[in-house]
Amino acid sequence: MATNGKPKFAMYWAAACGGCEISVLNIHEKILDVDANFDVVFWPVAMDSKYKDVEAMPDQSILLTLFNGGIRNEENEEIAHLLRKKSQLLVAFGSCASEGGIPALANLGTRQSIFETAYFTVSTENPAQVYPQSTYEAPEGELHIPRIYPVLKTLDQVVPVDYYMPGCPPEPHQISAVIDLVIQVLQGKAELPPKGSVIGAGMSTVCDECTRKRNEKKLKKFVRIQDVETIDPELCLLEQGIPCNGPATRSGCNARCPSVGAQCVGCYGPAEGVIDYGARLMSSFASVIDSNDPEEVDRILNGIPDPAGQFYRFNLAKSILRASRYAWKGE
């Protein structure tokens, strides 16, 4: 245990953008509660800390680890194993760790195609066809960079995870609520939810917390948001034909995007009880299409130009599909 007797806290980012960390900082003064109740032992964004220090800790000595980012390369996975070993409670924090997030859209293609794109863009001059190498013999000695995996994995695809906290990023008020809960548990005033639970989110859908007016939905077409003359500020976006992911998405964000006229993009992941997010969203959309004529239905569905991205924007890695077979072939 920590020398000061406080339980230990860690936070780590793998293949992430840093937005989860910024969201934690956006709890503002609440961060002082974290400091008062925990001994922060590893949090690269906020403090000096080294892998070696974590390696030296006894197993299970960290009470709570918030792990954000997906598993894109071998280094991400190594740290995931290390933190799993050292932590009593490992939380997949944010969309990427929970479900892959936006970077998991890369699972639709191959690792090779990522390289062929990145190192041969229109502004790249690469006549010698150079690719980065995980091991390279420089004149002065050998250099290493981590090997990138063929598919991006979620945290629970490489280590067991205790809790999931969705959101891209999780909203500050939800982070505060989870911190309060853990502090209450430490004080014996509350109990932890069952292992495997989703925490820091609601139990229903974004639609249920959206203040927009809802009527019976009957869609004759889907529209692209830029083609809408005036987005009705009061009416349900889906009823306006804008493909809003609210019906399949877990509540918890206060319907933030729809409240400013932008469609829900699904960052809070599948609603409670939903196994495959995309399948649920497809059935939600299908149920509001106002036609029984197969040709008309086709025409209406053509209003969604990118079904894979629409239905699996944040959660391809966690879906039943997980990745295209071309991506798997690179394994």
Partner 1 sequence: MDKQRITIDPITRLEGHGKIEIFLNEKGEVENTYFQIPELRGFERFCVGRPVEEMPILTNRICGVCPEAHHMAAAKAADAVYHVDPPSTAKKLRELLYSAFYVTDHATHFYALAGPDFVMGPDAPVAERNILGVIHKVGLETGGKVIQARKYGHDVIEKIGGRKVHPCTAIPGGQTTGITEEQRQEIEKMGRWAVEFAQFSLGLFNDIVLGNKAYVDLILGDIYTHATYYIGVVDDQNLVNFYDGNVSVVAPDGERIGKYAPSEYRDWIAERVEPWTYLKFPYLKKVGWKGFVDGKDSGVYCATPLSRLNAADGMATPLAQEQYEKFYSVLGGKPVHQRLATHWARLIELLYAAERWVELATDPEITSTNFHTVPTETPTEGVGIVEAPRGTLTHHYWTDERGVLTRVNLIVGTTNNYAPISMSVKKAAQNLIKKGTKVTEPVLNMIEMAFRAYDPCFGCATHSLPGQMPLQVTIHDVDGEVIDVVRRD
- Residue 128 backbone phi and psi in degrees, to 5: -85, 0
x-or-dash pattern for partner 1, window 284-313, by CB under 8 A? ---------------------xx-xx---x
Residues 6+ apart with CB under 8 A from 118: none
Selected binder of partner 1 within 188, 215, 260, 295 (CB under 8 A): 260
Vertex 274: Cα angle to 80 and 151 (nearest 5): 40
Residues 51-70 that bind partner 1 (CB under 8 A): 51-52
Q: Write the DSSP string, 40-92.
A: EEE-TTTS---HHHHHHSPTT-EEEEEEESBEEEHHHHHHHHHHHHHEEEEEE
CA distances from 103 to 41, 69, 197, 315, 328 (A): 28, 9, 24, 10, 16
Q: Which span (189-197, 209-217, 256-264, 276-284) binds partner 1, by CB under 8 A?
A: 256-264
Question: Of these, 191, 227, 234, 293, which contacts partner 1 (CB under 8 A)?
Answer: 227
Q: Does 321 bind partner 1 (CB under 8 A)?
A: no
In the range 149-188, which residues lie near partner 1 by CB under 8 A?
A: 168-169, 172
Which residue stretch of 127-135, 157-165, 174-182, 273-281 sits at the interface with partner 1 (rule: CB under 8 A)? 127-135
Q: Using the rule CB under 8 A, is 118 a contact of partner 1? A: yes
Residue 231 touches partner 1, criterion: CB under 8 A: yes
- Binding part of the chain for partner 1, among 1-9, 114-122, 285-293, 318-326 by CB under 8 A, reads 114-122
Q: Binding to partner 1 by residue 5, rule CB under 8 A?
A: no
Residue of 1, 55, 133, 221 that binds partner 1 (CB under 8 A):
133
**Cβ 262 to partner 1, closest distance in Å?**
4
Of the residues 4, 5, 36, 48, which one makes contact with partner 1 according to CB under 8 A:
48
Q: What is the CB neighbour count within 10 angstroms for residue 254?
A: 15
Contacts of 199 (CB under 8 A, 6+ apart): 91, 163, 164, 165, 178, 181, 193
Closest C-alpha to 108, from 330, 322, 331: 322
Residue type at position 127? P
Instruction: Verify binding: residue 15, partner 1, rule CB under 8 A.
Output: yes
The encoded tokens of residue 240 equal 């306006």
